[in-house]
Structure 1
Amino acid sequence: MRLAIAYDVSDDSNRRRVYRTLERYGAWKQYSIFELEISKTDRIELEDELKSHIEPSDGDRIRIYRLCNSCVDAIEDIGASQSGEQSNVI
């Protein structure tokens, strides 16, 4: 399944942990946004790990969007192109 994940984490060390976790599963696309192609099992593991890295009482939030095939086909980039950074998202 294809996911887009956006996060807003106040503490620098927690934000780095969230970033590093997401980096293992997918590709950084924009500030605080990742795209991932993962299995249902990996999604459960990822959500559990992300929950351990945030403090909801500090206002930390993570939003996970599931992208259908037609949604992925409709993605459009406007502006500067991304670097040649390697990605596990096809």
Structure 2
Amino acid sequence: MRLAVTYDVSDDANRRRVYRTLERYGAWRQYSVFELDVSKSQRVELEDELESHIEPADGDRIRLYRLCEACQKATTDLGTEPPGEQSNVI
């Protein structure tokens, strides 16, 4: 399944942990936004790991959006190209 993940994490160390976790699963698209292609079991593992890296009491938030096939085809990029980071998104 394709996911878009956004995050707002206040602590620098926690933000780096979230970034590194997401980097293992997918592609960085822009500040605090990743696109991932994961299985159902990987999504559960990902959510558990991400939850361990945030402090909700500090206002930290992570949102995961499932992108259906029609939504993926309707995606439009405006402006500069996404970062050229290594990606496992197909």
Instruction: Give the TM bin, normalised by the shorter chain.
Output: over 0.9
Q: Is the counterpart of residue 57 in structure 1 residue 57 in structure 2?
A: yes
RMSD of aligned alpha carbons: 0.8
Paired residues, number: 90
Q: TM-score, normalised by structure 1?
A: 0.97
1:19 paired residue number = 19
Q: TM-score, normalised by structure 2?
A: 0.97
Q: Is the 8 A contact 2:9 2:15 kept in 1?
A: yes
Deviating 4+ runs (over 4 angstroms): none
The 2-side partners of 1:82 and 1:6 are apart by 15
Question: What are the ranges of 5 or more consecutive residues in structure 1 without an aligned counterpart?
Answer: none
What's the % identity of the aligned pairs? 73
Shift of 1:60: 0.1
Q: Is the counterpart of residue 89 in structure 1 residue 89 in structure 2?
A: yes
Q: Is the counterpart of residue 36 in structure 1 residue 36 in structure 2?
A: yes
